[in-house]
Amino acid sequence: MLSNVLVPMDDSEPAGRALEYALENHPDADVTVLHVVGVPSMMMGDAVALTLEDDLSEAAAERAEPVFERAHDIADELDREIETIVGVGHPARNVIDRADDYDTVILGSHGSDRGRATRRFLVGNVAETVSKRAAVPVTIVR
């Protein structure tokens, strides 16, 4: 039986389905939603913008708020409670670094960059990296 589940979440549909899956299939587990901001890009746009903020923690929390509102809406529909945490930096690295504190990681198959030509055919880059490198079991939800 699982007691602690980590659900990395962005604004994509697969991420929402992953949270629903976690909440429905692990009713006795504590579920934590992680949203990572400041994603590095070729032009370093979001990551650089965060470094220019006066209060990095506050700026990261503000950027995570829409995702957390959606996560709480999903949890409320299923009459469940969730915890939320914000990470800063690269999504896969954030998930892998935190995975040891959980029994499992449940994440969506593709993130919000799913329209980019660089995505994998069946599994997104973050999901693929986490599934290969996390020290705990990983469930990928489509």
Convert the pLDDT of each residue in 14-64 to its tens digit: 999 999 999 999 999 999 999 998 755 544 545 445 555 557 778 888 989
> Rounded to 5 degrees, what are φ and ψ at 73?
-60, -45
Cα 94-99-104 angle, rounded to 5 deg: 135
By the 10 Å C-beta count (0-12 exposed, 13-18 middle, 19+ buried), 128 is classed as: middle
Rounded Cα–Cα distance for residues 38 and 50 (Å): 6
pLDDT number for residue 52:
52
For residue 13, is pLDDT > 70?
yes
Whole-structure pTM value: 0.85
**Contact of 6 with 61, CB cutoff 8 Å:** no
- Domains of the chain, by residue range, sit at 4-141
Q: If one looks up domain 4-141 in CATH, what number appears?
A: 3.40.50.620
Query: Which residues contact residue 35 at a Cβ distance below 8 angstroms, ignoring those fewer than 6 apart?
Result: 8, 9, 10, 64, 67, 68, 84, 85, 86, 87
Tell me: the pLDDT tens digits for 105-136? 999 998 765 444 433 344 588 999 999 999 99
Locate tokens 């400041």: which residue?
38
pLDDT at 124: 80
